[in-house]
Amino acid sequence: MTAQTTDIHIIAKLSAIAIVLHTAEFFLPSPIFGLKPGIANIVVLFTYYYFNVRSAAYVSLIRVFISSLILGTFLTPTFFLSFSGAIFSLGCLAIASYCLKSKYFSIYSFSMIMSLGHIVGQFVCVRLFIIQDNGVFFLLPIFIIFAFIFAVINAYIVDKILRVAKSHIKNDKIYP
């Protein structure tokens, strides 16, 4: 196998894990509609550090499409919510990876930027297509607080995983 096919294999495997996590998360109870820890983002963040933004985008979008098919929410509001969240969060990640040097910004920054992008994307989608009322923005503080908490937790987990991965692969390039 060439190096490229190995990469594709890994991306496929990561996508599979992301789909499983996303599907599992769907069944978690949540006090407010749409308030979820976003554990699938662990995989996306890992992919970003392991490969690059492009691979992270593959994993994220494959996850959104396939898990919505599995859950039967394809083309429903739930799907568009997670889709717009994923797009915004990937956009933020791309901009961040372009602008922010990893010398100064650690995984926590990227995780927080991604989760904030996710929230903003979902709110924009909700405001534009689902609930056309400015009232939705009054839920924003609650979502930002939880986004912050889960971003830090997710980043911590990814950090641990990457350290293990680094010692296994013996590749210094993937994680500082």
Partner 1 sequence: MFKVFKVGDFLILAIFSVILFISLSIYLNLPSGDILKIDYQNQTIKYSLNQNKKIDLENLSIEINMGKARIRHSNCKNQYCVMQGWISHINQSIICVPNLFKMTISQNMDAHDSTNY
Q: How far is the CB of 70 from partner 1 (least distance, A)?
A: 18
Number of amino acids touching partner 1 (CB under 8 A):
31
Instruction: By CB under 8 A, tell whether 159 contacts partner 1.
Output: yes
Instruction: By CB under 8 A, tell whether 135 contacts partner 1.
Output: yes
Place of tokens 């791309």: 94
Interface segment toward partner 1; rule CB under 8 A; list 8-16, 49-57, 66-74, 136-144:
136-144
Backbone dihedral region for residue 170 (phi beyond 0: left; psi -120 to 50: alpha; all else: beta): left
Decide: 41 and 88 in contact? Cβ < 8 Å. no
**Rounded Cα–Cα distance for residues 154 and 42 (Å):** 6
- Write the CA distances from 157 to 53, 92, 107, integer angstroms: 19, 20, 10
Instruction: By CB under 8 A, tell whether 94 contacts partner 1.
Output: no
CB nearer partner 1, residue 31 or residue 72: 31
CB nearer partner 1, residue 15 or residue 154: 154
